[in-house]
Chains A and B, each alone.
Chain A
Amino acid sequence: MTRARLAAATAAILTALLLQATLVAPLTAPFAVSLPAVLVAAVALVDGPAAGMSFGFVAGLMADLGSHHPAGVLALCWLGIGLLCGTFADRRSLRRDAVAAGIVCGLAGSAATLLLAMVHSGGPAWDAARYLVPTGLADAVLALVVLAIVRRMLRSDSLRAPHPVLTELAIGPRRG
């Protein structure tokens, strides 16, 4: 991982968490629309499952530690977002990828709600089903914008993922 990518990832996580708490969450309550989750999905859709998983885990852990619920809930769910979006990315159609991000983020939000209902006496578990569709739709709309920005940034020269170097080994004819 290059230094520029590390700095960009840190800045992106912090920005997403701040915008989520001060702008997105108050304006979209009671739906659990999540800008950081959509960002994780966008990174995974553009850069693949490895980048998506690590980005999702770190962002989720940061969000967990900044909240009052037990740490690990969002880390686990957003890790899942990175894994699923990275695996099922279409990469050609922005709209199709945005829909995938909306579905996965909506499901991950519901999974987090259920997990919390089990381990932390959270809200009623049926909230997970009640808000799933509107939350997924809003996440998909948000993903259209976020995905376009993330694509542009991650395809720039300074932030492009370093590809593994293929080494061709010349294997000589075995003697003997």
Chain B
Amino acid sequence: MRQLTRRQRVSAIVLAMLALSFLTLDLGGGGLREAHSGVRGALGSLYRGTDAVFGPARRWVEGLPSAGTNEAKIARLKQENAQLRGRLDARQTDQRTGTQLAKLQRAADGGNHVLLPTRVVALGPGQGFDWTVTVDVGRHDGVQAGQSVTDGAGLVGRVLHADSDSSVVLLAADPGSGVGVRDVRNSEVGLATGAGTGGFVFVPLNPDAVIKVGDHLSTGPTGSTSYVAGLSVGRVTAVRTSADGTVRATVVPTASPTAVDLIAVILEGNASQAGRAVLRPAR
């Protein structure tokens, strides 16, 4: 074990005080907002470049555990979506990407939304930090903070911050986040709070509401939620009533929060500004 010199002890204390000052300054009211924005923008551009190099290898490794099940799913979806897949790039060789794009197109048709497909290029630090991902579209493509993000099947999250060429998406399953939702079976509204890999915890506004296992939840009506209405959030797998009568339901998410890759930002109002190809509802 090495003894610290007096100078090293002083340095350690000074640096620790400095870190605490930054922490206080940032918590106190966004004094470091510009610094955050600048570094995030610079790193976002570098993430895009790095992902272009390592992305294919990473996606191949990520696909290994579910290779068998994916093949069966891909075969079924290929048959179902043959017509929609015809619109996609014919030279596209990546079947996974094709399947995901087809799913997004179905979501655009079904929800009458204009979708901006994008790829996840970086993940946030996770475990205790905000559950965020960085995507390779930004303000130049028409993305704005607050827009909803989907994987074609359900809600993924919302845009937290849009830089010029990249954006940060806060995942709906983030443990600090809440989503205003509606039970599709009985139209009861409530709040689904993110629970990380555990999905969501749903608490209906009406304490007497009858929530059943198997109920499907979708994002709530426009105006009561910051998300686009009608996006599938998940399915109730367990319901328990606490001693004070509060009903809590465990919800399995429709979109897996840990397996996001090709997703889409739902453009609202500014779809014409999109700098790259968007998926529009079929006429």
Contacts and interface: CB of A to CB of B under 8 A. Distances in A.
Q: Do A and B bind each other?
A: yes
Interface of A: 14, 17-23, 25-27, 29-32, 34, 48-50, 53-54, 57, 60-76, 79, 83, 86-89, 109, 112-114, 116-117, 119-125, 127-128, 131, 135
A76 B20 contact: yes
Given A18-B50, A25-B125, A123 B8 contact: no
Interface of B: 1-2, 4, 8, 11-12, 15-16, 18-27, 32, 35-36, 38-40, 42-43, 46-47, 50-51, 54-55, 58, 61-62, 121-132, 134, 160-161, 168, 170, 175-176, 196-197, 258
A68 B124 contact: yes
B15 A54 contact: yes
6 contacts: A18-B47, A53-B12, A68-B132, A72-B22, A113-B128, A114-B128
A75 B22 contact: yes
Nearest to B195: A124
A117 B161 contact: no
A19 B50 contact: yes
Given A70-B23, A123-B175, A124-B196, 15 more contacts: A18-B46, A20-B125, A22-B58, A29-B126, A48-B2, A60-B19, A62-B39, A66-B40, A67-B125, A68-B160, A71-B26, A72-B20, A72-B23, A122-B128, A127-B196
Nearest to A124: B175
Nearest to B35: A65
Contact of B127 (A21, A31, A54): A31
State the main secondary structure of chain A at its contact with B: helix
Contacts of A31: 127
A47 to B, nearest CB: 11
Contact of B128 (A17, A64, A65, A116): A116
Contacts of A120: 27, 176
Nearest to B36: A65
A76 B8 CA distance: 16
A64 B25 CA distance: 13
Contacts of A83: 4, 12
B19 A27 contact: no
A72 B26 contact: yes
Nearest to A116: B128
Contacts of B175: 122-124
Nearest to B55: A22
A70 B50 contact: no
Contact of A119 (B11, B15, B27): B27
A61 B124 contact: no
Nearest to A123: B175
Contacts of A53: 8, 11-12, 15
Kindly name the residue among B24, B40, B125, B196 whose own CB sees the greatest number of chain A CB atoms within 10 A. B125
A15 to B, nearest CB: 9
Nearest to B120: A26
A22 B121 contact: yes
Contacts of A21: 43, 47, 50, 122-124, 134
Contacts of A125: 128
A26 B127 CA distance: 12
Contacts of B170: 68
A70 B31 CA distance: 10
Kindly name the residue among A20, A25, A26, A119 whose own CB sees the greatest number of chain B CB atoms within 10 A. A26
B16 A79 contact: yes
B171 to A, nearest CB: 11
A89 B160 contact: no
A48 B5 CA distance: 11
Contact of B51 (A22, A76, A121): A22
Contacts of A54: 11, 15
A120 B125 CA distance: 14
Kindly name the residue among B27, B58, B127 whose own CB sees the greatest number of chain A CB atoms within 10 A. B127
A66 B39 contact: yes
Nearest to A58: B15
Contacts of B27: 70, 119-120
Contacts of B131: 123
A19 to B, nearest CB: 7
B168 A68 contact: yes
Given A23-B54, A29-B258, A65-B32, A131 B26 contact: no
